Structures are given as structure tokens and as C-alpha cells.
Structure 1
């Protein structure tokens, strides 16, 4: 109860002091406001970018390993770059080999990409033609809202059927129902069996924007674009009980080395890529950006802290007589100390709240595919930093006020 009364009393003194010098208070708030705005603004921007990138990486399959010629992350600086180009691309026969022997995968697919113009009557669209196999929709979501997905027979037979992305369908058919219609890709006729839900433009689209894709069977894709050369990229999804996908990764490595006839002394001539590893690597980049944000904001907070300390020294000087009266009436040193320290923290928190308000208002600005979200965590960080600056700025003036001799203080003018 005594502590609560002391807090309320300190709050009343602080509020009166701030109201009596509005202009001085606003100028002192400016440094803290700019500092908190800089730090939390950068953190909000980086968090939003990181969430967008991780969402894009998760869209190509969670708990998935991709077998390809090149690694996504060149972590081995000693490995000659030209050796990557000498590696063979994964083949359909290797996909069949893995499919028949792998035991730790929920699904496996092989895929490849090409760009071609799709036509329907007088409409056309330059689409990303994505050749896939049946299990692709298990590894990566294919949200078909009209029609259906491929059957196993259609994929195995390499039939001329297609599932269209939302933007492709809107461009080619408009308000017309596209299911069952025939479109032409590289002069070949394809029957539209499915249309995907429109995803919308993302800041980062790993593997291309699904809205601008046309999915066709992998074998048909290779006959059209690669003269029947059945190479592509293999993707495997791990089982739920395979922690960190260790068993699947080891199994893929062993099977790929076996099918390629590699001796024990020979190095791998393939790369195993994981979206979660890429996300972790990106996290280090975003952490560096966060540090940069703290450094930028620290300079503004340093200036703001000196401003707050200056106003507190002035406040102590102006209220020396009142301090002497309080102490002569029995006020303890810690009460005077807390009173001025509370005023300093209160001032910094107001500045921090204004900075957070500015960040919140900026989050409503349309930045295209990037959505800025001021999280509760960043708000708490901003208020904690503001409070810390308030304590640092006010501790010396508050200590000076608490150590005043009441007799000398009362005589001060």
C-alpha cells in the first residue's frame, strides 16, 4: 500500500512537471521518439520480410529434400565451382529407382520448368510450364477450386491435360468456365482439367508464382521441351517420425551413390537441398539487419538520453526548495530518488509510445506484396528500451536530488 501511494505521488509530481514545461517536454521527447521509431521500424520491416521469405520457402514443401545438380547454399568454399557444372542432372530413371527403394519418404516427385506461351482463341499468356508427377500435390499444395487434379494414369501416360494457375485461367477464359476447354502450348492441344485458387502476388515466390503456372504431366513436358531427355529435380517428403529428416537424407545419399556407381572414395556428384536449411541461412542475414537497426536507433537514443538527463538536472534545480521541504517533513531519500527516476522513465515511455504509434501508422501504407505488422513482441521491446533509457538518463539527477541536505535545499531560491 505504501509503495502504491509512493507511485501515485511520484506520478502526480511527474505529470505536473511535464505539463508546466510543455515545449521543453516535447523537445526532450523527440530524441527518444526518433530512436524507438528507428529501432522498432527496422525490426518490424525485417520481421515482415523474414516471415514473407519463410512462407515462400514453406510453400515449396515442408519436411522436404530436393535432389539436384547445384546446392542452394554454397557453404563449401573449397569446392571448385566448375565441378558443379560437370555434375549430371537427376534423371527420371533415378526418380524411379528412388521411388521403388526409399523407405523413409511419404511422397516423391520429379519436376522441371519451362516458359511457353499458352493460347485460347484470341487470348494468350506467357506461363511457367511446370512438369510434375502424381505425388507433387502431396509435397506442395495445389489448391484446385474448379475441376480436379491429375490421375495416376494421366501422369504415367504423359497425357495432354493441364491444371491452370488462377491468373492464367482469368487471362485466357475471363468469366467463362475453362474446365474441359482446349488450350494450345507450343502448338500442342491440352485439355484443362483443373484451375487453382488465386494466391496473389508475393514478395518472394520461390519456384515461381503459382498463379502464373500451368501444371502438366512430367513425361509430356520432357517430350515438348527437352526432346525426351528425362532429367529434372527430384523432391522427397520425409515421414513425420523422421526427426530433422536425418534418416531420409542418409537414405537418399546412399541410394543416389549406388545408382550412380560412385566408389566409397569418390565425392557426391549431387546436392541435397532443404528449404529449412535455406530459411536458417536467411535468418542470419535478417539477424544482421536487426543489429543494424539497433545501431541506427542507438545514436538517436543517445541524443535523446542526453536530452532527458538535461531536463532532469533542470527539474532538480527548479524543485530544490520543494525537495528540502519534503525531506524536512520526513521524506526518505529513496522516495525523492524514485520520484525523479519515475519522472525520467515516464518521459521516455511517452516518447517510446509516440514512436510506436508512428510505426503502427506506417504499417497501413500499401507496400505492395509486403505486409508490415507491428507485433506485440516488438512493442514490448520498444517500451523496455524506452524504460531502460529513462533509468540511465534519470539515475544521476535523481541521486543528486536524493542526496540534498534538507536545510540547504529549503534555503535555495
Structure 2
């Protein structure tokens, strides 16, 4: 009951200070408001950017390891590209070898992409598309939401049949008023039978790849178009989806490294001629970059909060001086020092939280501003962070005035008028 009484009285005093000296109090709280606004606005923007970018990277899949020629260059320092120039790209034979021998995988695919492709149907054309050659197991690694029709059968994929699945844009541009299913389109002068259409995804954030621009065909059909001599003129990638129980994909990575070295007949002291890349490395790199931006937000907002803290301390010093007589009466009636201490301390915290709350309100209003494809969302964690920082600033700013009030001599305090 005592705590409730303290809180209620402190809130009443804080509200009276705000209401009776609204200009002075508002100006004093402005620093806290601006500081919390700056910090939470930066954090909200960073969180929204990071979420949008990571969502746009969903096409990379999750829990995957990619077997590729080039390693990702997120380790810092110079990138020794000259070491990787002579490496071969993964091949279909290597894919089949891994598919038949890997134990710690729930899905595997080999695929290749060629951009700038044009598809035609009668007098209609759809240009600047991405053509993907994939195996049947691609759907077990990456999400391909079929809206109409169906996916490739294992027989179609293995035989390299001339069948395709269209993304939303080529389907709309080539067949604006009819269903594409069962029709034939031309790519590079060859006819392909349309068996499916992918559900519309919309534009990816910052131009990230989208299935809307894609045309899928069997990997071996793709090689019929882009093939020269003894080696394919394509850049293939093998992606292996690990088991959920394999935490960190440690077992899968060791298994892939051993099998690839065996397939390429590498001696124990020879370096790998392949890279095992993890898509989450990109997300981690993005996260570390945004951590730096978040630190900048703390620095920018910190100066404003510091000014706001001094403003609240000033309010509390004035409040102690104006209520010295009341403090004397309370003490003469038996109020303990801690009661006076907490009364002013709570008042300081309430004032600071009010200032911080206004800053958070401004960020919330900012979230309604249209920023194109970026969806600005004020998270509950950022709200709690803003209010928590405000409370800490209020406590730090009010502790000295509150201690001074608690140590006042009741006789001297009553005589002050």
C-alpha cells in the first residue's frame, strides 16, 4: 500500500509540475524527447531495413550449404580471386555423386541461371527474364509456389524434356487474356511446353531477385541451349539442405567436404578446389553493418538525452525548493526519509518517461509515412527500450535532488516560506 501511495502522489506532483509550469517543463523535457526519438527512430529504421533485406534474401533458402566455385568474401581483408580463377564449377556428375552418398541432407539441387532471356509466344514477347535450369529436387530446397499447373516430374527432369514453369511477369505478358497451361513458348528458337505458373511475389526489396521474373526448366534442358564442346558453358551451383537435428550443419559440412575431395581426387595436402558457402553469412554481414548504424543512433541520441537529463534535474531542484515547506510538514507528521526520497525520485522518473513517451509517439507517427517498399514498424522491444532508457535517465537525474529533499531538517523546512 505504501508503494502504491508513493507512486500515486509522485504521479500527482509530476502532473502538477507539468500543468502549472507547462512551458518550463516542456522545454526541460524536450531534450529527453529528442534523444529518445533519435535513438528509437534509428533503431526502428535499422530493424525495418534489416528485416526487409533479410526477407528479400529468402530466395537463398535456410539451413543450406552451397557448393560453389567462388567463396563468399565477407571475411575482411583482400579477396584472393586469383586463387579461385582456375577452379571448375560444380558439375551434374558431382551433383549425382553427392545425391547418392550424402546422409545428412533432406534435399539437394543443382541449378544454373542465365539472365537477359527473351521468351516469345506468337506475336508477344517478354524480355529481360531470368532462365533457371533446375533438377526435380530443387523444390525440396527452395520454395516454388505453383499457382496453376504443376511442377516437373522426375522423368521430365531426368530426360531433359522441353517443359517450363513461368513466373508471374512472363505469364502475364505472353498470355494476358488466357491461361498459359498447355501452350508452347519459344526460347532461343526452341519450343517449350508450359506446365505451370508461379504465384506472384511482388518486387523484392532493393531489387532483390523475385520469382516473378523467372522461367524454370529442367537442368538438362538448359544444357541443350548453353553447351559447348566437352564442358558446359554454364555456372552451376549445388545447394544442400541440412537436417534440422544437425545444429550448425557441422556434420553436413564435413560430409560434403570429404565427398567433394574424394570426387575430385584431391590429395590430403592439396587445398579444396571448391567453396562451401552458407547463405546466413550474408545475413550476418548485414547484421554487423546495421550494428554500426545502431551505435551511431546511440551517439546521436545520447547527447540529446544528456541535455534532457540536466533539464529534469533542474526541474527537480526547483521542485524541492518550492515544496520545502510541504516536506517539513510531512516529516513532522512522521514521514520517513525514504518516503521523501522515493516521492521525488518517482516524480523525476515519471517526468522523464513522459518525455520519452512523446518521443516514441513521434516515431509511431513516423511509421505511417510511406517509404516505398520499406515497411517501417515500431516493435514492442524498441518501445520497451525507449521507456526503459527514459526511466534510467529520470532516476539518474532525480537522485541528487531527491536525496537533498530527504535530508532536510523538518524544523528548518517548516520555517521556509
Secondary structure of the 1:258 match is helix
Give the Å deviation of 1:240: 2.9
Secondary structure of the 2:119 match is strand
1:276 to 268, 276, 280: 280
Name the CA shift for 1:66/1:33 in 2 (closer, same or farther; >3 Å). same
What are structure 1's unaligned runs of at least 5 residues?
none
TM score, norm. by length of structure 1 = 0.94
Aligned equivalents of 2:394, 2:89: Cα separation in 1: 61
Residue 172 (structure 1) aligned with residue 174 (structure 2): yes
Matched length: 412
Aligned equivalents of 1:8, 1:163: Cα separation in 2: 67
Partner of 1:37: 37
Deviations 1:185-212 (A, max 9, x none): 2222222111111111221566x21111
Secondary structure of the 2:347 match is helix
2:265 to 261, 265, 271: 261
Name the CA shift for 1:410/1:76 in 2 (closer, same or farther; >3 Å). closer
Partner of 1:129: 131
Name the CA shift for 1:14/1:80 in 2 (closer, same or farther; >3 Å). closer
Question: RMSD in angstroms over aligned alpha carbons?
Answer: 1.9
What are structure 2's unaligned runs of at least 5 residues?
none
1:141 to 121, 140, 143: 143
Equivalent residue runs for 1:21-36 within 5 Å = 21-36=21-36
> In terms of mean alpha carbon deviation, does 73-82 or 402-411 score higher?
73-82
CA contact (8 A) 1:182 1:189 kept: yes
Give the Å deviation of 1:78: 7.6
Equivalent residue runs for 1:59-208 within 5 Å = 59-75=59-75, 77=77, 80-115=80-115, 116-120=117-121, 121-203=123-205, 208=209
Partner of 2:226: 225
Secondary structure of the 2:85 match is helix
Aligned equivalents of 1:230, 1:108: Cα separation in 2: 19
Name the CA shift for 1:28/1:168 in 2 (closer, same or farther; >3 Å). farther
CA contact (8 A) 2:89 2:236 kept: yes
1:295 to 291, 294, 299: 299
Give the Å deviation of 1:214: 0.8
CA contact (8 A) 2:226 2:234 kept: no
